[in-house]
Amino acid sequence: MSDLTGEVIDGRYQLTRVVASGGMATIYAALDLRLDRHVAVKIMHPHLAQDEKFVERFIREAKAAASLSHPNIVSVLDQGWNQGGVPCVYIVMELVEGSTLREFLHEQGALGVERTLQLLMPVASALAAAHALGIVHRDIKPENILVSKEGRIKIADFGLARGALLGSTMTAESSVILGSVSYLSPEQVQRGIADSRSDVYSLGIVMFELLTGEKPYKGEDPVQIAIRHVNDRVPAPSTLNSAIPQEIDALVLRATDIDPDKRPRDCSVFLDEMRSISEKIDPRRRQLSLELDLPPAPIKQPGKERARTRQRTPVIERVKSNRGEPKKEDEVKREKTAETKRKPSPRVKRNRSIAALLAVLIGAFLWYSFLGPGSRVVVPSLAGMSVKQATSELEDLGLAIQVATEEFSEEIPEGKIISSDPAGGGRIEPTGTVDVTVSKGKERYDVPNLAGLTRDAAQSLLTKRKLVMGETIEEFSSEIPKGYIIRTSPKVGERVKRDTTVDLVISAGIEQIALSDYKGKSGEQALNELSDAGFEVTTRYVFNEDLPVGAVISQSPAAGQADKGSTITLVVSKGSEFVFIPNLFGVAESKAVSTLKSLELKVSVKKVGTKKVKVVTNIAPKVGSKVKRGSTVTVTVG
């Protein structure tokens, strides 16, 4: 997302600088022009504003925080859509100047027990207020806990919160993906469900990390870390830091129990247990607030009486002195008065403590701003920029850029920056190098040509292409041998996502069809039926003394099963090879010749006499003789 510094959102909020940036939104410090106050404006990245689920989560964050009123929860002041300028979805919140608990932990390292309790009790107090209203945060982690410069602890990012006041929630799958895996409870990993005990689990993991400086489970693969949360018990903090007392070990182990029923039921119970341990460690804590804010101390009546006594004493001394009381007694009283003045009252002690604390805070602020992390360069938001644009922007600040990794992204176009380290709003040494992760675009793979391959060969090729073999269906084929692939779904060459399922159509070979026995039946009937069944038919005609003309003498192959589309050969009877010479005496020449030829006989005509109309007068061979078809018959006409 490009830097919107200087823009006026909704005609009211003027963005002054980038405070932080993440995968979902960028947070700007801004000036409320209407009320003349400084606020924080959280603006969703444009490419996510097109997704209804992300917008729903964004608005839910505003509703969740707005429904809660607690000093340790970042207040939400407004929410809307910018109509007059750059289109965007935004949330307006109170501006908390300081750092995240993650940054605090990186800077300080592992903390002592008292400091850990001092930091986490305000968090538990805020979550207890949310749980009382039926709201579950579901994403407690150091990145979502802010430490203001004044020492106030604030919980932010209720984007995954759910509860009766918030309406519908995101799906279990999306919540697991969006949540931080190192702090997810086992029930969130396994079933995607969460209640107040899930927040207790996450806060228990944060406590472990503050006490030891490490997360309970390490690894580069988020899936392995999630599985360990489900299957393994979180170790006792004392295994990494022997100075941790048994009571803290027991509290962390109970809060991070795999069984939700064995944890504190909500953060109010968790808070009570932390307070109890804190008071046991230091009984004086019972008289003070442990939530970092110093409460106004009440003025006690005995203190007032002593003050009035100090005011009255000099007057009494003067009166008694004027009455001529012994000087020795006056001196004694003056000494007592002086002694009373030298002993500071509780109020003076408290004021001195506050002054000392302010001095320490001011010194810490000056160190942070001029010598510590505050002296570092603030990294601008680079998400959504090209490497060239980011290089130009960083060079103006004296910083270098390095493409550390390239990743596929469904949302960020190819060549654009997904994230940076440090992220936007983070700090880095002058002349330092910012590592960026660049998008390789959407992860897509071509469906390979599997036609003609066996199932095993296809499996190997699909695995190499990051695809998954799906269902296999058999289909008859006269072209592809049995057991080999005919085609796929999706089709060859189609570009699909990683792990897309590819279904296979495998050849069952040539379809077998029942073949009837047509011997002795009509050749015409056999031809029609075989052709309709999908066979090719070849007919051969021969003489036969037993079967009439047109009857099937034999077929090949014989009756049984035959391949669909194969050729069937029929041998059909032409009738007898022999004929008998008919009686044609007195028949006209032309008719006699026609009759003999119809019997497949050759005719030789011998003419005698002078008649114009000639008729048969003799036949050779003689009438009634049996001769082969094709034989020659001599006819005499005259």
Class of domain 512-573: alpha beta
Contact partners, residue 325, CB within 8 Å, separation at least 6:
none
- Six-digit token pair at 563? 């391949």
Give the closest residue to 579 by CA, choosing from 506, 632, 617: 632
Is there a shared CATH topology between the 512-573 domain and the 578-637 domain? yes
CA distance 485 to 492: 12
Active site residues: 139
Exposed / middle / buried, residue 496 (Cβ in 10 Å: 0-12, 13-18, 19+)? middle
Coil, strand or helix at 262: helix
- Six-digit token pair at 12? 């009211």
CA distance 187 to 295: 39
Supply the CATH classification number for the domain 578-637: 3.30.10.20
Residue 128 identity: A
**Which residue has tokens 């007059």?**
84
**Phi (first) and psi of residue 217, to 5 degrees:** -125, 135
Three-class secondary structure assignment of 53-105: HHHHHHHHHHHHHHCCCCCCECCEEEEEEECCCCCEEEEEEECCCEEEHHHHH
Structural fold of domain 444-507? Trypsin Inhibitor V; Chain A (3.30.10)
Residue 14 identity: Q
CA distance 94 to 97: 10
CA distance 99 to 392: 27
Structural fold of domain 100-287? Transferase(Phosphotransferase); domain 1 (1.10.510)
Per-residue pLDDT reduced to its tens digit, 162-211: 443 333 333 333 333 334 788 988 888 877 788 899 999 999 999 999 99
Helix residue spans in 213-326 (DSSP H) = 222-231, 246-255, 267-281, 301-322
CA distance 177 to 159: 13
Per-residue pLDDT reduced to its tens digit, 22-67: 777 888 999 999 888 999 998 888 777 777 777 777 777 677 667 7
CA distance 358 to 360: 5
Per-residue pLDDT reduced to its tens digit, 577-602: 888 999 989 889 889 899 999 888 89
**pTM of the predicted model as reported, rounded to 2 decimal places:** 0.45
CA distance 256 to 185: 8
* Domain boundaries of the chain, sorted by first residue: 8-94, 100-287, 297-342, 344-375, 376-439, 444-507, 512-573, 578-637
Q: What local confidence, expressed as pLDDT, does residue 209 receive?
A: 94
CA distance 434 to 438: 12
Could you tell me the mean pLDDT of each successive run of 10 residues in the chain, 638 residues long?
81 89 83 91 81 74 74 86 79 88 89 91 92 86 89 77 39 39 85 87 95 86 80 91 92 93 93 91 57 36 40 39 46 50 60 69 58 64 85 87 89 87 81 90 90 91 91 89 92 90 91 87 89 89 87 90 88 88 90 89 89 87 89 90
Contact partners, residue 471, CB within 8 Å, separation at least 6:
503, 504
Supply the CATH classification number for the domain 376-439: 3.30.10.20
Class of domain 8-94: alpha beta
Q: What local confidence, expressed as pLDDT, does residue 467 receive?
A: 92
CA atoms in the 13 A half-sphere facing the CB of 454: 2
Give the closest residue to 78 by CA, choosing from 33, 125, 143: 33
Q: What local confidence, expressed as pLDDT, does residue 170 receive?
A: 33
**Which residue has tokens 């970092």?**
292
